[in-house]
Structure 1
Amino acid sequence: MRIGLTGGIASGKSTVARLLVELGAYLVDADEVAREVVLPGEPALAAVASRFGQAVLREDGSLDRKKLGGIVFQDRAALQELEAILHPAIRQEMQKRMRAEDEQHPNGLVVADVPLLYETKQEKLYEGILVSYVPAYMQAERLMQREAMGHEEAERRVALQMDIEEKRKHADWVIDNSGSLEETRSQVLAFWKSQGLP
């Protein structure tokens, strides 16, 4: 079975993914793939540098994420252009890795951790969607702590994504991640058992 795992920024998706892996799931992480498709020598990195200029590259030829983030998080059109370059490359690599996991573990649960799953219209690629949920105000609070950024910037980054309440509404399963780790763990375990997984 293949499921998509998503949520909002700072909604605890990584925690849910880790708990699923502890239970025996096989994880394919879009963020990890996203980092790999922009490694030096990859076509996507060349396309990013061509569009946003050599200033987004470090001296060693690797991507300067902070510089690129400074450009695209200030300008929605630039962000959409970046996504148009990266998303096809990421999606192709994700599908390849999921096929490999399916072949190796035909009876296992393959979890694709995809932050922008709904925004990139990927729902149909999975048998179901699991959303890691916290209210928007909590996303901003966690982001401020995690990234040491101001309240306004945190709220702006949260607002760049699809509203978390919308994601929750469209989900097949929801893990409410606003409580303790133990509360999250017990919900993940209940989800696991509900799917008849060993």
Structure 2
Amino acid sequence: MRIGLTGGIGSGKSTVAQALVSLGGCRLVDTDAISRALTQPGGAAMPIIAQRFGAGFVTADGALDRPAMRALAFQDPSARQALEAILHPLIGEETERQALLADPGQRVVFDVPLLVESGRWRQKLHRVLVVDCEESTQVQRVMQRSGLDAAQVRAIMAQQASRAQRRSAADAVVYNDGLSLDQLHQEVAALLTSPLF
């Protein structure tokens, strides 16, 4: 069973991912973690990124300069597309490599922040699970953990699929607003025993 897990920034998707591992014994494949590894010093994507974008987008230790790239991508969509053209094939290869490490019969959860936006994930999955909450809750959570202001958080959210788009792509939705951690775990545990999963 291949389960795609997604949700907007600040939805609590990572917490649900960890609950699926701890409560359901799922194998987690985290595409964000893979992307970060590819753009760390020595990461497989860095020579290609340096060649395509120049040394100004590489830190002194050889990692991707994320703030510089984020600023460029916001103002120039073609730069974002060029970066994605470098990263997505590499992420895809590593994602499948990690998925193949699952034990026979073990559910594999693919944590994909932009699952709905990408358009190419759905055919690779048996189910899509969306973590959802109110937009005001997203803004509050991200401000608390990142130091960004509300306008910056909303600008990031504007680049992502809307709540309605994510929910319409879902086989199941965890509404993570106003829940304690225990209550969220109960929601996940109930999902894991449902016929859907």
What residue ranges of structure 1 are gaps of 5+ in the alignment?
Answer: none
Query: What TM-score does the superposition give when structure 2 sets the normalisation length?
Result: 0.90
| 1:48-197 equivalence runs, <5 A | 48-101=49-102, 105-121=103-119, 122-180=121-179, 181-195=181-195
The alpha-carbon distance between structure 1 residues 130 and 66, as it changes in their structure 2 partners (threshold 3 A), is same
Query: What TM-score does the superposition give when structure 1 sets the normalisation length?
Result: 0.90
The alpha-carbon distance between structure 1 residues 76 and 10, as it changes in their structure 2 partners (threshold 3 A), is farther
Give the SS at the match of 1:10. coil
Indicate if the aligned counterparts of 2:4 and 2:110 stay in contact, CA closer than 8 A. yes
Indicate if the aligned counterparts of 1:7 and 1:13 stay in contact, CA closer than 8 A. yes
Pairwise CA distance, 1:49: 1.7
Residue type of the alignment partner of 2:33: E
Task: Give distance in 2, aligned partners of 1:118 and 1:196.
Answer: 20
Give the SS at the match of 2:39. coil
Give the SS at the match of 1:112. strand
Tell me how many residue pairs correspond in the alignment.
194
Task: Give distance in 2, aligned partners of 1:148 and 1:195.
Answer: 41
Task: Give distance in 2, aligned partners of 1:195 and 1:49.
Answer: 48
CA-based RMSD: 1.8
Pairwise CA distance, 1:85: 1.5
Identity %: 41
Task: Give distance in 2, aligned partners of 1:81 and 1:28.
Answer: 24
What residue ranges of structure 2 are gaps of 5+ in the alignment?
Answer: none
Task: Give distance in 1, aligned partners of 2:191 and 2:75.
Answer: 38
- The farther-off stretch of 64-73 and 124-133 is 64-73
Task: Give distance in 1, aligned partners of 2:173 and 2:115.
Answer: 15
Task: Give distance in 2, aligned partners of 1:124 and 1:84.
Answer: 20
Indicate if the aligned counterparts of 1:6 and 1:130 stay in contact, CA closer than 8 A. yes
